[in-house]
């Protein structure tokens, strides 16, 4: 059984291992093509209304494969909804980083320097790993990428869950690997970027 549902791909929107419901009382949408306010980390997770990211996903233990698409939708103010299928998760752009709007925990937080840390979801800690990765995926070859590792550890010190996310400049999430350990068993699933695209306007100036 998958530790996250790659077919619905909600883990990409959440960057979590637990399922989350859609936002309640969501603010109204902004006009098409709206951009997020600038943040110190915006280049690594560029949010523009209508941008889509398509991913290939594969379970570590079974080899089962799936595909999914996540789309950014602008909301009122500095918020964006990341929608995959019928589910969504709201993120908020702040000057110092990008948060999960429902909890206020950061997906990315400045400075994005190796070893930097900040609080994650449900008591987890997020740490910046490599800050100059070269990543080669179906969508292309990207340089200058960074890794974040969000990890929740057991009282005994061993990991309970871990999400390793690779963000690339001017692209966003390129690789995501979610893992969990339970009763001595490890399960995991990896998603890699197949394609991405900015919204296209058919209107002439």
Joined tokens for residue 171: 């692209």
The domains of the chain are located at: 10-20+32-197
- Average pLDDT score over the chain: 81
Topology at the third CATH level for domain 10-20+32-197: YmcC-like fold (2.40.360)
Q: What is the pTM of this model?
A: 0.80
pLDDT at residue 155, rounded to an integer: 74
Question: In percent, how much of the chain has pLDDT > 70?
Answer: 77
CA distances 119 to 122, 129, 137, 149, 152, Å, are 9, 15, 29, 11, 10
pLDDT of the residue at 37? 57
Q: What is the mean pLDDT of residues 129-149?
A: 97
- What's the pLDDT tens digit per position in 156-203? 767 789 999 999 999 999 999 999 988 778 889 999 999 999 766 655
Token pair of 64, please?
A: 């089962």
């Amino acid at each position: 059984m998958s530790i996250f549902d790659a077919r619905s791909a909600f883990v990409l929107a959440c960057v979590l291992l637990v399922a989350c419901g859609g936002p309640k009382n969501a603010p109204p949408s902004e006009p098409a093509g709206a951009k997020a306010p600038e943040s110190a980390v915006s280049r690594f997770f560029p949010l523009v209304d209508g941008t889509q990211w398509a991913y290939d996903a594969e379970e570590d233990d079974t080899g089962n494969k799936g595909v999914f698409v996540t789309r950014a939708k602008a909301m009122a103010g500095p918020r964006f909804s990341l929608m995959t299928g019928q589910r969504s998760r709201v993120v908020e752009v702040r000057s110092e980083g990008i948060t999960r709007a429902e909890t206020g925990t950061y997906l990315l937080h400045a400075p994005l320097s190796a070893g930097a840390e900040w609080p994650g979801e449900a008591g987890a800690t997020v740490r910046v790993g490599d800050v100059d990765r070269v990543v080669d995926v179906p969508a292309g070859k990207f340089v200058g990428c960074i890794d974040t590792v969000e990890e929740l550890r057991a009282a005994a010190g061993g990991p309970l869950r871990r999400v390793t996310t690779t963000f690339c400049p001017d692209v966003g999430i390129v690789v995501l690997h979610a893992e969990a350990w339970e009763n001595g068993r490890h399960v995991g699933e990896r998603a890699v970027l197949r394609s991405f695209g900015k919204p296209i306007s058919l209107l002439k100036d």
